[in-house]
Homo-oligomer: A and B are copies of this chain.
Amino acid sequence: MASASSTTRERLSRETLAAGALALADREGLEAVTIRRLATDKSVTPMALYWHFKDKDAVLDGIAEQIFDSVVLPEPSTGDWDEQLREVLDAVLAAIRPHPLAADLLAPRVMKSVAGLVLAERVIGMLRRAGFSPQQASQTASFLLCSIVTLVTSEPGKQTNLTAEDQENLDRGKRAQLASLDPKLFPSLLESAEFFLYCDDEDTYFARGMDFLVDGTRGVRPS
C-alpha cells in the first residue's frame, strides 16, 4: 500500500525546506538555489514552495537564519572589552566557516532573524561599554560582521565548488596567466602567486584575520 512505499513524500515544512536550501547552497553554491530546483529535489511542484515562503528572497532569508541560529555566543566573560570582542567574533567565525558558499547572504539579513538581532545587540552593547557612540558602535559592528564574511568567502582556494580536476584546470590557467606577466612590472605579485590559489594554513589565516579586526577596532575606539 501507499503507506509502505519508500518513496512516499513526507509533508513539506518551512524548516525542512530551508535546511534543504542551505545544504544545496553548501554543495553547489547559491546560483543552484532556485525555487524549481528545490521543488524537484523534494519531488514537488515549484508552486508548492509558495505556500511556505512568500517568495525566493524569503527562502534565502531562511538560509541566513539557520546560520545565525548556529552561532553559539560565549557567556559574557570578565576580561577586557577587546578580549570579549575577540571571543564573540570567534564564535561568529566558527558558525560561518562551514558555509563559505552561502555566507554572502548574511550581512544584509542580520536584522531579519532573532538570532541576528541578538548577535547585533551583543556586539553593539560591547562597543558601547568600550566607549563607542551609538553611531560608531552600530557602524563598527556591521563592518565587523561583513569582515568575517569576507574572510570566509575570500579565503584563497575556497571561493568555488568544482570537481578536483576542474579546480586543477582553473588553477593551471591562473598560474599560466600570472607567469606570463612581466617580472619587472609585477615582482611582488609573482612572488606571491601561489598564495592566490590556495591557503596552506587556514587556522592561522583566520587567526590573523581576527587579530586584524580587533586591532582595527582598538584603533578607532574613541579616547
Chain A residues within CB distance 8 Å of chain B: 107-108, 111, 117-118, 120-121, 124-125, 128, 134-140, 142-143, 146-147, 150-151, 154, 156, 159, 174, 177-178, 181, 185-189, 191-192, 195-196, 199-200, 205, 208-209, 211-220
Contacts and interface: CB of A to CB of B under 8 A. Distances in A.
A187 B122 CA distance: 10
B192 A138 contact: yes
If over half of A's interface residues share one DSSP class (helix, strand or loop), that class is named, otherwise mixed; here it is helix
Contacts of A134: 188, 191-192, 195
B208 A212 contact: no
A153 B137 CA distance: 18
A128 B205 contact: no
A124 B188 contact: yes
Contact of A154 (B142, B159, B196): B142
A156 B111 CA distance: 13
Given A154-B143, A191-B128, A186 B216 contact: no
Contacts of A174: 111
Contacts of A107: 154
Indicate how many identical chains form the complex: 2
Given A143-B154, A195-B134, A219 B209 contact: no
Contact of A108 (B125, B159, B187): B159
A111 B190 CA distance: 12
23 contacts: A107-B154, A108-B159, A111-B178, A117-B186, A124-B188, A125-B187, A134-B188, A134-B192, A135-B192, A135-B200, A138-B192, A138-B195, A138-B196, A142-B154, A142-B196, A143-B209, A143-B212, A146-B150, A147-B147, A147-B150, A212-B220, A213-B216, A216-B216
